[in-house]
């Protein structure tokens, strides 16, 4: 990816999953499910994970919506204060 300024923030349209892409091989996913949430840290070690990150960055099909650091942090703080984390 040329000229990408990391981190890059994306989200799903349903407002239940938020992504913080740290670089071309790592991202965090904040996923909200009912009264619980999970945080997944993914380090791409296999091709499908690398393809997913590339797809999120390129987003040729408009599947991931653009987000920003403030929205990611707001949702993370809400989850940590109001929901139960699943590990």
Q: Residue 10 contacts by C-beta under 8 Å, 6 or more apart in sequence?
A: 18, 19, 21, 56, 59, 64, 65, 66, 67
**What pLDDT does residue 62 have?**
82
Tell me the C-alpha distance between 29 and 17, whole Å.
Answer: 7
Query: For the range 25-31, what are the long-range contacts, defined as Cβ-Cβ under 8 Å and sequence gap of 24 or more?
Result: 25/50, 25/53, 27/53, 27/56, 30/72, 30/75, 30/76, 30/79
**What pLDDT does residue 17 have?**
97
Strand partners, 40: 29
**Tokens representing residue 34 in the block:** 């009912």
**What pLDDT does residue 35 have?**
97
The CA-CA-CA angle for residues 40, 79, 32, to 5°, reads 55
**What pLDDT does residue 63 have?**
87
Q: What is the full per-residue pLDDT of the chain (87 aa) written as tens digits?
A: 568 999 999 999 999 999 999 999 999 999 999 999 999 999 999 999 999 999 999 988 888 999 999 999 999 999 999 999 998
């Amino acid at each position: 990816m040329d000229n990408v300024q990391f981190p890059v923030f994306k989200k799903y349209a349903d407002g239940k999953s938020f992504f913080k892409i740290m670089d071309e091989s790592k991202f965090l996913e904040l996923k909200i499910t009912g009264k619980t949430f999970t945080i997944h840290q993914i380090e791409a070690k296999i091709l499908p994970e690398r393809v997913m990150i590339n797809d999120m960055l390129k987003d040729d099909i408009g599947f991931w919506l653009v987000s920003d650091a403030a929205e990611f942090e707001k949702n993370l703080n809400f989850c940590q204060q109001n929901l139960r984390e699943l590990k």
